[in-house]
Amino acid sequence: MEYAFEFGGDGPQDLTITLSGVASSSGMWALVPDLTSDERFRVGLAVLVDVSGLDTSGLTLEEMRAMADAVSGRDWEFPADAIAIVAPSARNFDDAMLYRAHVGGSKSGREVFHSREEALAWLQAR
């Protein structure tokens, strides 16, 4: 699984995380310390997560739970203001919704969207 971070940029998000390749819990466990060790990462960010290029077809329920566990620890120490997840394909959308459920559902401050425009509008309205 590959990932990239872009801090700032044009829009309401403070941070854009782009995920691509084959989704894996090991990739998520690697992402979290890379992100939290970045000096620009802080509590209260508005985050846009783009999973458009992420292949989730091989994820098992156990791997999904492990991915959620990796992120839940980060959320405890560095809670975000809001996290908008862009998942345009039906498969990625369904998997993103399942992931969202594992990290606390609506209480997690995450919403899943089919388009980047919808996600940015939601972040802007917060």
Whether residue 47 has pLDDT greater than 90: yes
Contact of 23 with 55, CB cutoff 8 Å: yes
Kindly tell me if the per-residue pLDDT of 13 is higher than 80.
yes
| pTM attached to this predicted model | 0.93
Closest CA relative to residue 82, chosen from 54, 55, 37, 120:
120
pLDDT bucket at 7, cuts 50 / 70 / 90: very high
Contact 31, 3 (CB under 8 A): yes
Mean pLDDT of 9-31: 94
**pLDDT at res. 2:** 97
The answer to whether the beta carbons of residues 23 and 1 sit under 8 Å apart is: yes
What confidence category does residue 9 fall into, taking pLDDT thresholds of 50, 70 and 90?
Answer: confident
Task: Return contacts of 29-33, CB within 8 angstroms, 24+ apart.
Answer: 29/66, 29/70, 30/1, 31/1, 31/3, 31/70, 32/70, 32/71, 32/73, 32/74
| Domains in the chain with CATH codes | 2-125 (3.30.750.24)
- pLDDT tens digits, one per residue of 54-75: 999 999 999 999 988 888 878 7
Average pLDDT over residues 22-31: 93
